Structure 1
Amino acid sequence: MQGNVNQITVTQAKREASSIFLAKVFNWMAVGLGLTGIVALVTAESGIALNIASSPIFFILIIAELGMVFYLSARIERIQAGTATLLFYGYAILNGLTLSVIFLAYTRSSIAGTFFITAGMFGAMAVYGMTTKKDLSGWGSFLFMGLIGIIIATVVNIFLQSSSLYWAISFIGVFIFTGLTAYDVQKIKNMGEKGILEQGEEAIKKGAIMGALALYLDFINLFLMLLRIFGGNRN
């Protein structure tokens, strides 16, 4: 009887730790998305978005973003939590600058509508990742291969300009990023259950930032794929 009570206590403690850590991750993600949205809207309103879209600045920003993600992922164990925080903020700002160009291609109503669709789908898959008893770790390699395939197909279609490939990438991309949302949320949940809250404030903050970055990327990419499908063209 005592053993069962102890087991229940341990399980409850793990769930509480997981909930606390997930809350930290989602808070950081919300900050990142909010910062990106504000920067994108201000940049579009000011007319700077047109200059970004019509110059090499756009590609420079893309390269800078990729560099920041790779650096943060590779160096997270060595850098300070404060540095990781600044990099996350910096990435959110740069992404806001690049995403400002969508206001040149799509109507604001379709952007807003797609955002809410994305939020609904993301929320549903996040809940699934948090509550399912199924181990989603096996999804990782499959989804990663799908992600690489999307990247390659996107680059190829820059030259082919195939409408069929464009739509295939969009629909497959929605499938990939909804799956990644559930996968990443369960992985973050497991980090909480495995005791990351016991590793000190530095480790907690860095873990939360990396988790937030993963979910931020899932949300943004899902949004962009859905925008390709549902977005109303300004032209």
Structure 2
Amino acid sequence: MAQFDTTRVAGRTTAGVRGADIDAGLRAHMNKVYGTMSVGMLITFAAAWALSGLAVSATPTEYQIGANEYLTGLGYALYASPLKWVVMFAPLLFVFGFSAGINRMSAATAQLVFYAFAAVMGISLSSIFLVFTGYSIAQVFLITAIAFAGLSLVGYTTKKDLSGFGSFLIMGVIGLIVASLVNLFLQSPMMMYAISVLGVLIFAGLTAYDTQNIKNTYLAHAHGGDSEWLGKAAIMGALNLYLDFINMFMFLLQLMGNRE
């Protein structure tokens, strides 16, 4: 009996050590996810801010866009020439290519590609400084950050399985893309408003869903100890949360932003 009790206690101790190792590993994994995402956000902001300064000239140039606003040659190329379509759709093509090719990359290469994608996204988003006031952009960014933190915390801590919402939310994203493409030609304010409201709701749901999925993916593969695979999983998790944040920010900006 004493021998049985000793074995049982030893088993519980071993299980407790494994559980503590997994908890520590999960915290490190999530820190890497949020850290990589944060660096990507800083790169995006830096690229957008730098190009916004080049896009509008304080002195008259050839390309006038308002009473006291003028595009530089670079600004014209980015926002008024056919190149604007390349700038608009480059991030979408980039992220599809990245997602398809990440399994053939090392974790270090995947991280560099993610940062390159963040820079491309910044170029694409730089036009918001032409459309919305700086104060409005900062205000909506802060609101998005608070909402994102709360939703991600919910996804990390909730005991409810959110996996059933995944297919529904992805179908919603596809619907948003199609509706947005259609509205490029219709230019309907009411349709844009509806798209923005639905976009905020869908990406709010995806923030919680993706956070839980990142956590569950780590827990499912933690015993394997494949650090290279887990490194790439952290980068993909950062990419998903980055896209959730950026899209929620853009849709909130459409709803709440003050235009120039």
In the TM superposition, residue 148 of structure 1 has moved relative to its aligned partner by 1.0
Aligned-pair CA distance for 1:9: 4.2
Q: Which residue of 205, 216, 221 maps to 1:179?
A: 205
8 Å CA contact 1:106–1:233 kept in 2: the answer is yes
CA distance in 2 between partners of 1:164 and 1:230 (Å):
15
Contact 1:197 1:204 in 2 (8 A): no
The residue that corresponds to 1:232 in the other structure is 258
Q: Percent identity?
A: 43
Query: CA, structure 1 residues 64+155, in 2 after alignment: closer, same or farther (shift >3 Å)?
Result: closer
Q: Indicate if the aligned counterparts of 2:218 and 2:230 stay in contact, CA closer than 8 A.
A: no
For residue 57 of structure 1, what is the aligned residue in structure 2? Answer: 83
**C-alpha separation in 2, matches of 1:202 and 1:116:** 34
> What is the TM-score of this pair, normalised by structure 1?
0.92
Q: Which moved more, 1:109-118 or 1:6-15?
A: 6-15
Task: Trace 1:52-91 onto structure 2 (pairs within 5 A).
Answer: 52-91=78-117
- Farther off after superposition, 197-206 or 209-218: 197-206
Would you say how many aligned residue pairs link Structure 1 and Structure 2? 234
Q: Which residue of 1 aligns with 2:237?
A: 211
Distance in 1 (CA, whole Å) between partners of 2:100 and 2:240 is: 14
How far has the Cα of 1:131 moved from its partner?
0.4
CA distance in 1, matches of 2:238, 2:189: 33
Taking the TM superposition and a 5 Å limit, the aligned residue runs for 1:7-86 are 7-47=15-55, 48-86=74-112
Following the alignment from structure 2 to structure 1, what is the Cα–Cα distance between the partners of residues 76 and 134? 16
Choose which of 175, 190, 201 in structure 1 pairs with 2:216.
190
Between 1:34-43 and 1:191-200, the stretch displaced more is 191-200
Highest RCO, 1 vs 2 (Cα 8 Å, sep ≥ 6): 1
Structure 2 Cα separation of the partners of residues 179 and 193 of structure 1: 21
Report the RMSD for the aligned CA atoms in angstroms. 1.8
Q: Could you tell me how far apart the structure 2 residues matched to 1:105 and 1:50 are? A: 15
**Distance across 2 between alignment mates of 1:118 and 1:230:** 11
1:38 alignment partner AA: A
- Please, which moves more after superposition, 117-126 or 45-54? 45-54
Counterpart of 1:84, as a letter, is A
**One-letter code aligned to 2:54:** S
Aligned partners of 2:114 and 2:239 also within 8 Å = yes
1:86, distance to aligned residue in structure 2 (A): 2.4
| Distance (whole Å) between structure 2 residues aligned to residue 197 and residue 164 of structure 1 | 51
Gaps of 5+ in 1: none
